[in-house]
Structure 1
């Protein structure tokens, strides 16, 4: 291949890549840069930008003493710690189950994946109706079965967050399911047959042959699940609006409330940067841990 032909192909490649790069910079790097700048100011509304003052790290120091922010941060961590293991384990279990030779496998696969591609607002509204403490079908069924003190679900300060987590797991597990299912179908049959010849039972076959080959898939899903859990806004906003008593207020809800209800764009930007750094640190930690445990 001549040098001129390579240069021509490179120009064509850049011609196709440039629109994506421009969009990526405009909608990713530019907002991050602006958030960093705004987090160092006391900006309230965009219309009052000319009255904005530079306050340095003042917003970040304020967060240390902000009880509502600390509560939202704590709820986000609890939500993520509960959501990620549950959605991973349930997704893997369902994938292993459906990967077997069972009847109606295609129908079951579609049923599991359907909530993931359904409208999140509609899902949240349906669940809020089902879990209504007075008129909801869930508590009415429990009462019919003799349960006199049915849970308050989304209305109880002690049950609201875990209820939201369970609904989110039900909605998001479809992604883990189809990803694990695709990975399971790529496991070489020769390895399974060799292990069976050596006397491995089903558990040993999964533990020592199948699961190690799912490591890269598991790593990818852990990262995406953590990011999903930390940025979850819609389903919590529709189900509880952060209540009762801020019991389900997580960082995204707190950021939106600070920016628009309290009209403090600068402080909200600082909160968003803390959330951004949290996601980056967790992702980097997972990446480093994966690379150190890699076996060649």
Structure 2
């Protein structure tokens, strides 16, 4: 899909696969591509479109390790062979640990529409990793990479372009209206999958909120840009989820029955991983055995 300029020299193109956003930030010294789509074949036309924007690609940034964000890097390396690939250090470790197994599993799934593409995809490991903050100098502007904490995954990062008051939030913020069963009232539920961190996610979004002004444009990993109020609403909903896990555990409700007994801010059928992960993250003192 074509790139749309959402702020001065910041372009976003939602992709048909997973409605994932590929973003480009341009400066005098070149362009930074943020996320690359889900396979080499899916990313190849994206790289072609990026080549039509003003400047050369001087960096690729991966917001987290999941396939729809990280598996298309090889298409950019094919066109810009020396381009560095940036990621937070935990995301790089997660890609190394789970990426190839995920690719092979999806490629072998007869129900996976993109199986052949995934079978032909070669994963590219990030070669520029950081812990908390990194800065990319584009000459007339800087691009900040910030790891606000764990949430959707352990290695999420957000990209801040301060001169235009814009943040690329990755999957720490969700909006997509194409999420199907993961949609409530037309807005997607945050991706609470098997590697999420539901107890940490609210405080992680508190850090993100500290980066935002009332006028900040926030581009989520999927869907159209949103504002600070949208981010705050999702933070509060995730806070309710985290508090419900803590309350149930403190009341002696075990993880196997918590999903059925809790009052959740999101549809129950989407929360099995989140509840399990929440219980696993509790300290020993956060759980009580039933008295009966």
**TM, length-normalised to structure 2:** 0.24
Larger Rg computed on CA atoms: 1
More strand by share: 2
More helix by share: 1
**TM, length-normalised to structure 1:** 0.24
